[in-house]
Every structure is written in structure tokens, then in C-alpha cells.
Amino acid sequence: MSAKRKNVVRFDLPVNPAFDERLARESDIDLSVCARTGPESAGWAALEGAHVYHVSAAKDELPRKWFVGAELLARSPMLLCVSSAGAGYDTVDVPACTRAGIAVVNQAGGNANSVAEHALGLMLALSRRIVECDQRLRHERGFSREDVMGHEIGGKVLGLVGIGHVGTRVATLARAFGMTVLATDPYLTEEEIGRRGAASAALEELLARADIVSLHCPRAWDTLGMIDARALQRMKQGALFVTTARGGIHDEAALFAALRSGHIGGAGLDVWDQEPPPLDHPLLKLDNVVASFHTAGVTHEARRNMAAIAAEQIVGALKGGRPPRLVNPEVWPAYAARFEAVLGLPVQPPDSE
């Protein structure tokens, strides 16, 4: 294997053809696609020579042995970059990568339109009781239209927990419906939140004022369990809860209790502690829950866009450029030194990118 050839590895989870097609246009990049359930030796052999590992962000689709952790890093001495296939990176130990001088990149924003549309869809389905009406119409007669009467979302207060790529798009769509939008985001100033289309509010204030609370924050040490029993109790009586973020940010047992008691009027859930949730999951038994299978960002358009930007980012990185969606920017000096040592090429200075 020539030191100047670049090796990219991924496993055989669904990826839009745009990813493989873009890499195939580079004469010095080789792509290996390994079987998730195939012989472990084949996967390890590919990773031992990999410069980039394009890894699924779905924690319940990828076998844990292929998560990016201490063991995988120790067995991948040539690895320079870990590319998450999604906006999240639940399958990647980012601090371990940083310590090893490995860049971690994601595809933040690539599926923002799809996720935002799904979040609005959940809000509408809950407010207008669309799913409940559909199910009753298929199985019952004798109920009246007033029995499934819902509410408009226009004029309501929407509280966004996180206003990044997706949250900003949700704010735009919500304002088109005539909603008042509040947002909390510890990484943004009040002025920047305003530029993104929302009024800044602390989390406690947002929970107390919002008719609908929608989560758009990453799964991290400071967000795990953030929406617990206390937070749910802070919400308005009858308010709706929607999440297209990540499982684990909200406490499922506490949410079930709040829904059963009637304190929370309904929940639209795209993400779960375990995906898919078991068939006997208590939340799936409630009529005021609209459930989906982490599909908010899974559209034909989003999948193609995510694959295309992922491949372009990998190509740019392997040419020595600084990735535009670098999760751990503090790694850059160590990464640059390793890049030159492994590939015999310098990283490009910022003004040449």
C-alpha cells in the first residue's frame, strides 16, 4: 500500500449512493465497505489501515464493537479522521479521539429541513389529534367529530431547547404558522438567538411559558436527563412535548407519568432510549403519544444531502483541508502533525482552503 493512498472505511449500513460515487471520483482514495455481521477479522483488517472511518451515528444499528472507543482507536494506528454519518455522534468517544490526535467531523445541518418539517408534523398531529382520529376512524363508529376536536398551533408559544441548524429552521416554520417562538441555548448570545428567529429565555422560563416544548439540542453530558420529572412539572398544564433530538435527554418514565396524570397534554417522540422501543413500551400504549422511529432526518432528500456533504468533507480533509464541520477543533495542532506523519503531506494553511 502506497503511503500516499488514502483509505476510507465504512460498514454496510444504508448510505445514499452519492457517498460512494463521490469518493470513486478520487483516484487516490480507496473505499472499503465491511459487513457489520461478517467476520470480525475483515473489519479489523480494514480499520487497521484506515485513514478515515465513516461511522453510523445510530447507536442501536451498529454493533458496539465498531463504536469508536479506546479499543478501536488502539487497533487503528493510521486513523486520522472519524466521520459521523449524521449530525449526532453517539457512537464516537470524542475526548478519546482528541487525545489520540484524531479529528471528528459530523454532518450538522445536512438534514435540518427534514428534521424541522418532522418536528412541525408532530406538533400538528398532536394539536389536531390527527393520529388519534385516524385510528378511531379505522376501528370505531358512534363517536362524534367533537370527540377528536383539537387546537390550532397559530398563536401558541413554542419553546425551543436548542436553536442550531434544526432549531433555526423550526423557528422559521413556526413563525409562518403565527407562533411566538422562545429559545434557550447555552452556546449562543441573546442577540444571536434573536437573529435566528426567537426570543431568548432561560430554560425554566421557557418551560413555564411554552404551549409546546420542542427539543433540538445534542446528546451530551450536560443534556442527558435534562427533561426529568422536575422539568416536566415546570411545564404548563396541558402543554405538548416534542423531541426530534436524541434519546436519553428526556426521562421516559417521568414523561409517561406526566402524560398519565394529564399534566402533559401529549408527546411527539421520534427518539428513544432504545431504538426502536420495545413493543410493550408504556409510552406506546397512550393515545396522546405520536411515535416515530428516529425518522425525522430520514428522507430521500436528507439522505442524499448528508451523503454528499460527508463525502465532500472527507475528500477535502484528505487533501489537507480543515473540515468545515469539525466537532473537536482543539485537536487541530496534533491532527496536523499526525496528518503529515501518516500521509507525508502538510495540511493546507487556512487562506488556501
Q: Which CATH number does the domain housing residue 253 bear?
A: 3.40.50.720
105 shares its domain with 116: no
- What's the CA gap between 243 and 217, in Å, rounded? 9
Q: Is 264 inside any structural domain?
A: yes
Same domain, 249 and 326: no
Q: Which domain does 116 fall in, by range?
A: 112-291
Number of domains in the chain: 2
- Threshold 0.85, pTM exceeds: yes
66 in a structural domain: yes
The pLDDT of residue 1: 41
pLDDT score recorded for residue 201: 98
pLDDT value for 284 = 98
**Active-site residue set:** 246, 275, 294
Do 274 and 148 fall into the same domain?
A: yes
Q: Are 162 and 217 in contact (CB under 8 A)?
A: yes
Sign of CA dihedral 204, 210, 213, 217: negative
Please state, in angstroms and rounded to a whole number, the distance separating the CA atoms of residues 35 and 352. 38
What's the confidence (pLDDT) of residue 351?
A: 56
Q: Are residues 149 and 213 in the same domain?
A: yes
Same domain, yes or no: 104 and 132: no
What's the pLDDT score for residue 58? 85
Q: Are residues 157 and 65 in the same domain?
A: no
Q: Where are the alpha helices (DSSP H) in the chain?
A: 17-24, 40-48, 70-74, 94-99, 112-127, 130-139, 165-176, 190-195, 203-209, 229-234, 252-261, 300-318, 332-343
> 95 and 190 share a domain?
no
Q: Which residues of the chain carry a pLDDT beneath 70?
A: 1-3, 350-353
Rg (CA), the chain: 22
- Are residues 169 and 56 both part of a single domain? no
Do residues 116 and 175 both lie within one domain?
A: yes
In a domain, 1, yes or no: no
Last residue of some domain: 291, 309, 333? 291
Residues 22 and 64 grouped into a single domain: yes
Do residues 235 and 307 share a domain?
A: no
pLDDT of residue 353: 42
In a domain, 201, yes or no: yes
338 and 277 within one domain? no
pLDDT (0 to 100) of residue 342: 96
Quick one: cell of 211?
404551549
Question: Is 258 in contact with 289 (CB distance < 8 Å)?
Answer: no
Residue 60: predicted pLDDT? 87
Which among 239, 117, 214, 122 is positioned nearest to 163, based on CA atoms?
Answer: 214
